[in-house]
Structure 1
Amino acid sequence: MSFDINGKVALVTGANRGIGKAIAESLLKHGAAKVYAAVRNLDSVQPLVETYGDRVVPIYINLAQPETIVQAAQTATDVAIVVNNAGVLRQADPLAEDAIAALQFEVDVNVFGLMRMAQAFAPVLKANGGGAFVQLNSVVSLKSFANFATYGASKAAAYSMTQSLREVLGAQGTVVVSVHPGPIATDMAHDAGMGQIAEPPSLVGEGIVTALRDGKFHLFPDSVAQQLGGAYASFAANVVEADPVAA
């Protein structure tokens, strides 16, 4: 099921920098009427506002604070596209002393935050004709690495939840996209020591526009992600995206 963003209103979490900012810019470039830039620091969105004027509306959301998400959904009642981009990363291997604390922190934002966003905005999207819900997952949702063990576990859980959301939200006419970037040039990638191989955030923003247009559930936007996505394609098509098996 394809979705045209032209003339639509969008909301992007973590829109003040990196991938989130690139997504907001791509949506605006391709005709989105307005983007709610959902952030924890409203002043951080000022560069976008200066560039795009009243087509960018700062709005407060903290994925770890459910009440802020509910309030945003009550405010942004004209939203037809929700992009849940915001997430957190703590590098920890499974035996690290702080591994459990790291995983708890990441699950609260990366998994529970996703669920909170979906629960709050599903009725809004339905009221506006179905719309689209885009979730930023990661290549580590499919392939874990020791130093990113807890982050990968949280993203694997988020990916699993996104698959379920595809079925549930699809019943109300909402398109769902699961995005799996590899190393992208962001502060997070730099801090994780992947800056030298990282690719531009615009690949994600433009990829989302294309995936929505083409009705694709999975998006592997960069070269590293595409290598993994190519290997995963058969399973994705024949198992993940196949119709549910009747009980």
Structure 2
Amino acid sequence: MKVFLLEDDDAIAMGLKYSLEKEGYEAIHVRTKADALATWKTNTFDICILDINLPDGNGYDVCKFIKEKEDVPVIFLTASDAEVNVVMGLEMGADDYVCKPFRINELMARIKTVLRRSGKGMSASASDGNGILSIKNVRIHTSEAKVGILDDTTGKEEIVELTALEYRLLLAFCNNRGNVMSRSQLLEDMWDVSGDFVNDNTLTVYIKRLRDKIEKDPADPQIIKTVRGLGYIVEK
């Protein structure tokens, strides 16, 4: 997993790079907007960590450049948690933000969560090599962010319309196949369109809607199963 790190403070960058590589990531560090744009012209990355205040510009400009080139998850590092900074970052397509000073463990957890939400955290074994994940008769086309249902009789695939949050919820289950997902774990992965955390009651509604769209019998779900007192599971 390749991480793009834009940070002009060498002390922070050195610590981050060390921690990322210790976790098994490949981290490429640059200090300026100019270096960031030049690096992106010849490389691709799985996730970006962008400082906002730079000596020759700001991280917003870099985020805009990256998002126009490729839909890669972005986490902003900001010295201020002012609402205007947060909203601006989210409106530009950022997936999360972390305020300085921050704890390394918190940032690592945020990275893993953002990767899971984006589908980049999935294991290779879950895919058929063409960017398609399969759960029973459900096909998730990760490269196109589309979901199809195979007809048992004809074998034809019918595309179902999922909202962005329903799709992220399905990916969260898929990326954790065979493991019980508690409601709190699922809530960590879920944001609504305005960037707000989804609450517990809303999660219940989205699970019901997702089951209505992908289960043969939503009243007796065979894909997203309830584990009473614990949460939900999608079996391997």
TM-score when normalising by structure 1: 0.32
- Normalized per residue, the structure richer in helix is 1
Which fold has the larger relative contact order, with Cα–Cα distance below 8 Å and residues 6 or more apart in sequence? 1
- Normalized per residue, the structure richer in strand is 2
